Amino acid sequence: MNTTSKTLILALLLAAGVACGYSKPKTTMPAISQLNPGTATAGGAQFQLEVDGTNFAANAIVYFNGVAEPTTVVSASKLEAMIPASAIMNAGMVPVTVTNPGTGGMYGTGSVTSAPMNFTVN
């Protein structure tokens, strides 16, 4: 076998290896555009928070001040989360994020989290 044949075989093996999907698929990054309501009164009752944005996965989770809240995925651009009264006991700015969980397995994707949007507790 000559050098040209060996080089060609090596190139084909490398191309096949790359084409087999050894790169990790990516989870789409969610983005928050609006919170509704955007404020709540400290010491108030629990409330439903609507999170509008883009790229929300079917299993997206809303985090309110770092705590995962029960989330309903309405669409890829709208989530609803029930925020307990205990989460708004004190006035201040509270970060809200959305996480699209990754998938498991050897070739699964990693979870991705949106940039935070601040919610105001008055």
Architecture of domain 24-121: Sandwich (2.60)
- pLDDT value at position 81? 98
pLDDT at 122 over 60: yes
- pLDDT tens digits, 22-53: 445 567 899 999 999 999 999 999 999 999 99
Angle at CA of residue 37, ends 43 and 63, nearest 5°: 75
SS3 label, residue 3 = helix
Q: Hey, how many other C-beta atoms are within 10 angstroms of the C-beta on 26? A: 10
The full DSSP string for 70-87 is -EEEEETTEEEEEEPGGG
- Cis peptide bond upstream of 37, omega within 30: yes
C-beta separation of 105 from 21 below 8 A: no
**Counts for the chain of helices (H) and strands (E), in that order:** 1, 10
Sheet holding 47-54, edge to edge: 31-36, 47-54, 78-83, 71-75
- pLDDT tens digits, 49-104: 999 999 999 999 999 999 999 999 999 999 999 999 999 999 999 999 999 998 87
Per DSSP, 23 falls in state S
**Domain locations in the chain?**
24-121
